[in-house]
Amino acid sequence: MINSGDTAWMLVATALVMVMTPGLGLFYGGMVRSKNVLGTMMHSFMCLGIVSVLWVLFGYSLSFGPDIGGLIGSLDWVGLKGVGLGPGPYSDKVPHLIFCSFQLMFAIITPALITGAYAERMKFSAFVLFTILWSTLVYFPLCHWVWGGGWLGKMGALDFAGGTVIHLNSGVAALAAVLIIGKRKGYHRDPIYPNNLTLTMLGAGLLWFGWFGFNAGSAVASNGVAVLAFFATQIATATAALSWIIFEKIIKKKSTTLGFASGAVAGLVAITPASGFVTPLPAMVIGFVAGMICYFAVLAKDGLGYDDSLDVVGVHGVGGLWGALATGLFASVGGTGLFYGNPHQLYVQVIASLTAIVFSFIMTSIILLVVKKITGLRVEEEEEVQGLDLSMHGETGYYLR
């Protein structure tokens, strides 16, 4: 029978995850130059529109529909046929449609995360086509492999709320994107500073707030596992933010608001796959390591020579990988990891992570090359100098007099 308490919680959790995407728009929008603030925020809002339509038409069916060979869901639920108000195969306590709605919000934010890597230089038409193709050919299959009854889930891969499916996946896709699209005009020559860190801090706060729905909602019930995921999320995030600014102080001699916000997001990313599987002290360890390694990963990008505009690779790619592997180390609730007597779990997490890395990088690269042939990827040089707000959308974020 449908449980009203569980259903009420899932409605709230779904709304919390939805607000993360506008929060991401604010987070990213504040970090770009003023001439690109609206174009950057537009990417996140467009994902809300594009992916919602894809999800209803075929995305949910491919991701969570009846399994075909461990590789993809069938088309039995196209147009959400049979996805109604009764219980579904993923929970007998909440309506099938609310589970579908909750998972939609995950599908929306994943391609939105990638946009931070190629911010300030991708054509709007290319972004739209890329988002459609990437969601269909990368996110939906990988989601099915882990959560929808596919082969990685059957192998025993643990990903409570999306470390592999969402963050590692988007981080690797971001790396492919920046390597193929190339650097921004004037990168390392002209000053490129955030236009409004107030917006970024507000966005970080909304992401932190919404992430409680992201992780605790993945219990698909109002129960003890949701409580564990909720608290682990808070502890890991707080610790990661402090860790980031500690190392920032050591290296750069100052602790910054952007550093705190970036560290918080790194902690959120890293605890996501482990949140329902670990107790508070391991969550703190996961957060501390995430803040440290993501900070150094961001510092390393200049030496490695790629222009990841808003540090998607360093935060989501590296943080997602650490979180996936840390789950194989610290899991003790609903599964056991290496430190609790089960080394095989770490092996499975490595296989799942490598699969996500290889699949996402290769498929993203192919999709980008196809889009380049069809629409071109980059704006013209004059358009990039002018800024994407005016050149792509005919408007500006700030009218200064």
pLDDT digits (tens, 9 = 90+) for 187-213: 988 889 999 999 999 999 999 999 999
Q: Return the half-sphere exposure (C-beta side, CA atoms, 13 A cut-off) of residue 206.
A: 19
Q: Distance (Å, rounded) from C-alpha 74 to C-alpha 228?
A: 34
Query: pLDDT confidence of 401, banded at 50, 70, 90?
Result: low
pTM for this structure? 0.97
Q: What residues contact 303, with CB distance under 8 A and at least 6 apart?
A: none
**Does residue 399 form part of some domain?**
no
pLDDT over 90, % of the chain? 98
CATH number at residue 144: 1.10.3430.10
The crossing angle, in degrees rounded to 10, of helices 96-114 and 4-31 is 10
**Does residue 146 form part of some domain?**
yes
**Is the pLDDT at 73 greater than 80, yes or no?**
yes
DSSP string, 186-230: TTTTS----S-HHHHHHHHHHHHHHHHHHHHGGGSSSSHHHHHHH
pLDDT digits (tens, 9 = 90+) for 365-388: 999 999 999 999 999 999 999 999
Q: Spell out the long-range contacts of 334-338 with Cβ–Cβ below 8 A and sequence spacing 24 or more.
A: 334/225, 334/276, 334/277, 335/158, 335/277, 337/277
Q: What is the pLDDT of residue 191?
A: 87
The DSSP secondary-structure symbol of 311 reads -
CA-derived radius of gyration, the chain: 20
The DSSP secondary-structure symbol of 122 reads B
Considering its fold, how many domains does the chain have in total?
A: 1
72-73 and 87-88: which strand pairing?
unpaired
| Alpha helix (H) residue ranges in 218-336 | 224-252, 257-271, 280-304, 312, 318-330
**Does residue 238 form part of some domain?**
yes
**Is the pLDDT at 54 greater than 70, yes or no?**
yes
Enter the tokens of residue 322: 């650490």
9: three-class secondary structure by DSSP: helix
What's the rounded mean pLDDT across residues 141-164? Answer: 97
**Does residue 362 form part of some domain?**
yes
Q: What is the pLDDT of residue 399?
A: 84
Q: Which domain holds residue 298?
A: 9-393
Q: Distance (Å, rounded) from C-alpha 332 to C-alpha 396?
A: 51
Q: How far is CA 192 from CA 195, 243, 385, in A?
A: 9, 26, 12
* Whether the Cβ atoms of residue 170 and residue 114 lie closer than 8 Å to each other: yes
Burial of 90 (0-12, 13-18, 19+ CB in 10 A): middle
pLDDT digits (tens, 9 = 90+) for 103-131: 999 999 999 999 999 999 999 999 999 99
**Does residue 400 form part of some domain?**
no
What torsion, rounded to 10 degrees, do the Cα atoms 188, 194, 195, 196 define?
A: -170
* Whether the Cβ atoms of residue 171 and residue 306 lie closer than 8 Å to each other: no
Q: Distance (Å, rounded) from C-alpha 157 to C-alpha 352?
A: 6
Query: pLDDT confidence of 49, banded at 50, 70, 90?
Result: very high
The DSSP secondary-structure symbol of 345 reads H
pLDDT digits (tens, 9 = 90+) for 291-316: 999 999 999 998 999 999 999 999 99
**Is the pLDDT at 97 greater than 80, yes or no?**
yes
What torsion, rounded to 10 degrees, do the Cα atoms 287, 27, 258, 195 define?
A: 170
**Does residue 3 form part of some domain?**
no
Enter the tokens of residue 79: 């147009």
